[in-house]
Amino acid sequence: MPAALGAVVLLLVVLGLVTFAVYVHRKLLGWMQGRHGPTHTGPYGLLQTIADTVKLLQKEDVIPAQVDRPLFRLAPIIAFAPSFVVLAVIPFAPGLTFADVGVGLLFYLAVASVTTLGVIAGGWAANNKWSLIGALRSAAQMVSYEVPLALSALAVVLMAGSLNLNAIVEAQARSVWFVIPQALGFVIFLIAALAELNRTPFDLTEAESELVAGYLTEYSGVRFAFFMLGEYVYLFAMGALIATLYFGGWLPPHPALAFVPGIVWFLIKALFFAVLPFWLQATFPRARVDQLMGLAWKGLIPLAMVNLVLTAALKTWL
């Protein structure tokens, strides 16, 4: 019962963060592009996201006649559920982990990859060539960037000597934040994470100018909302993972600041990296698909392997 209650509390907190993230997304883009963003619904437009959510939930749930109905209904759940499940292994503060798994990092990477199946299922079930093309292109992107993502994370595992996320944070408490010795790995991880999250300049998943919203073409109402919800939850989850692997998790930047609760430091770091993709969206244009795949296979993967070999050598010799 306590575990179920904790899961419900976590889900409510995550939904609140998603609401906050959508609002910040609009306001930040508006500010950077010389616009106001939401202003009328509630003070400073704070209720605009809630109003949009209510409107989206009230929309008719249209299911085209020729789709694979069971798979069409299941695909949004497959895409969303992993984004919530991976939060179970994130250490928010000392002793505040819903599932302290010994192979927490491996669990995160394995469960997160299930979202790719949801994307493929959504495109295939729609029985629409544009949806299928969009799904296959999205899957190719996500699978490609999972390789440098995992390789750069593996270098952190070598330094910490453990796959447990709590142990990785504690290893940084005994030395330095891993972003310092793993600066190259961090850059690779961040770029790969942006591609995994389908954020600009790697937002080819939707690419509405080319594929009519990709695999989402036939979805509406609540099912469309599930896909979007998963995307925003992953922003926080990936920000939390970056904070854990490279920025000391709940650790303060200086021992003199240890009086601030660890969860506060963790949320500051995680929310910063959750909001960073919004800033990049207003800065960079969308990359072409050939540029995207070439960057992964010809650039990031070789660099990640070099970083891994250098880390192993330094770990052996020092």
pLDDT of residue 133: 83
- Is it the case that residue 161 has pLDDT exceeding 80? yes
Confidence band for 207, pLDDT divided at 50, 70 and 90:
low
Q: What span, in angstroms and rounded, lies between the C-alpha atoms of 87 and 264?
A: 17
Distance (Å) of CA 292 to CA 94, 121, 203, 212: 39, 23, 10, 19
Could you give the CA distance from residue 239 to residue 228 in angstroms, rounded to a whole number?
Answer: 17
pLDDT in tens, 22-56: 888 888 888 888 888 888 888 888 888 888 888 88
Instruction: Kindly state the DSSP code that residue 96 receives in the 8-state scheme.
Output: B
Q: How wide is the angle at C-alpha 185 spanned by C-alphas 280 and 81, nearest 5°? A: 65
**How far apart are alpha carbons 263 and 275 in whole angstroms?**
18
Alpha helices in the chain, H assignment, sequence order: 2-32, 48-58, 69-85, 104-112, 114-125, 129-160, 165-174, 183-196, 208-211, 221-246, 262-281, 289-294, 301-317
For the residues 223-240, what does the mean pLDDT come to? Answer: 87
| 205 pLDDT tier (thresholds 50, 70, 90) | low
Determine the straight-line distance between the first and last CA of the chain, rounded to whole angstroms: 48
Do 91 and 166 meet the contact criterion of CB atoms below 8 Å apart? yes
CA distance 163 to 186: 17
Phi then psi for 63, rounded to 5 degrees? -120, 110
Q: Which two tokens stand for residue 78?
A: 């497959």
Residue 192: pLDDT band with limits 50, 70, 90: very high
Cα 154 to Cα 304: distance, rounded to the nearest angstrom: 9
Q: Provide, rounded to the nearest whole percent, the portion of the chain with pLDDT above 70.
A: 95
209 has pLDDT over 90: no
Q: Tokens in use for 67?
A: 């789709």
Predicted pLDDT at 310 = 93
164/59: higher pLDDT: 164
Q: CA dihedral defined by 232, 233, 239, 245, rounded to 10 degrees?
A: -150
What pLDDT is recorded for position 158?
A: 93
pLDDT tens sequence across 120-138: 898 898 888 888 888 888 8
- Report the distance separating Cα 184 and Cα 178, nearest Å: 11
Domain extents in the chain: 1-58, 62-317
Which amino acid does the sequence have at 172? Q
**Is 206 a residue whose pLDDT tops 70?**
no
Question: d(Cα 246, Cα 176) in Å, to the nearest integer?
Answer: 10
Half-sphere exposure of 268 (CA within 13 A, CB side): 12
- Please count the other Cβ atoms lying within 10 Å of the Cβ belonging to residue 188: 25
Q: Is 59 left (phi over 0), alpha (psi -120 to 50) or beta?
A: beta
Beta carbons within 8 Å of 36's beta carbon, 6+ residues apart: 30
